[in-house]
């Protein structure tokens, strides 16, 4: 019995689309809200594949155990 394909999923984050510039802009928007200067996109790019955890570490030197991490993540 043949069955049809129910769904096709794509991982766009760095696989089919370069989202690093968008993620760097989002990080810099939060840095601006916190009164910090922007990070160059070349500094943020290596951390974009690590998700919010990597970006917050690069942008604010915080980890999930750090005070204030949750507020920055939201």
Beta-carbon neighbour count of residue 12 at 10 Å? 10
Residue 61 is a catalytic residue: no
Residue 13 is a catalytic residue: yes
13: β partners: 17
Of 13, 18, 22, 61, the active-site residue reads 13
Distance CA 61, CA 48 (A): 15
Which residues are annotated as catalytic? 11, 13
């Amino acid at each position: 019995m043949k069955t049809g394909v129910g769904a096709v999923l794509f991982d766009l984050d760095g696989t089919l689309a370069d989202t690093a510039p968008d993620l760097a802009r989002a990080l810099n928007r939060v840095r601006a809200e916190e009164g910090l200067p922007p990070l160059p996109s070349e500094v943020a790019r290596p951390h974009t594949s690590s998700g919010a955890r990597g970006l917050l570490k690069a942008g604010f030197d915080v980890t999930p155990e750090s005070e204030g991490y949750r507020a920055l993540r939201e």
